[in-house]
Amino acid sequence: MLILRLGSAGMMLTHGIPKINRLFADEVKFADPFGLGPTISLALAVFAEVVCSALLILGLKTRLATIPLMITMLTAAFVAHAADPFGRKELPLLYFTVFLVLLIVGGGKYSLDAFWKKKTSLL
């Protein structure tokens, strides 16, 4: 689970970190699939891809952190790439599958979630 968390979250950060600069640009150009406005849509994507990925790397609130990531990946696959061939949808669907596994299984033995659970069970 450690390898799955570190690998998927680390690779997701490579998508999220460049979006931070776009968020603070003079004019935000980003898809607005839910009608919230491009700035809010981009901020939500940055939150998922950066903040939630960082939580996954730490193994902190792992299950909760996967939910925004899964929503973002489904949005990327079926909204942003709706008209594209399956090859363009494949990567976000693969990420979605990994995040679904992490949602079901949790952070694993080597996570802050497990550390805090063990620590609180000793009290």
Residue 37: closest CA among 46, 29, 47: 29
What was the pLDDT predicted at 100? 98
State pTM to two decimals.
0.92
Per-residue pLDDT tens for 22-79? 998 888 889 899 999 999 999 999 999 999 999 999 999 999 999 999 999 999 999 9
Per-residue pLDDT tens for 71-80? 999 999 999 9
Residue 31: closest CA among 83, 70, 66, 67: 83
Structural domain boundaries, residue 35: 2-122
Contacting residues for 58 by C-beta, under 8 A, at least 6 apart: 111, 112
Between the alpha carbon of residue 89 and those of residues 20, 23, 73, 86, the distances in Å are 23, 24, 9, 5
Q: How many distinct structural domains can be found in the chain?
A: 1
Average pLDDT of span 90-97: 98
What was the pLDDT predicted at 123? 62
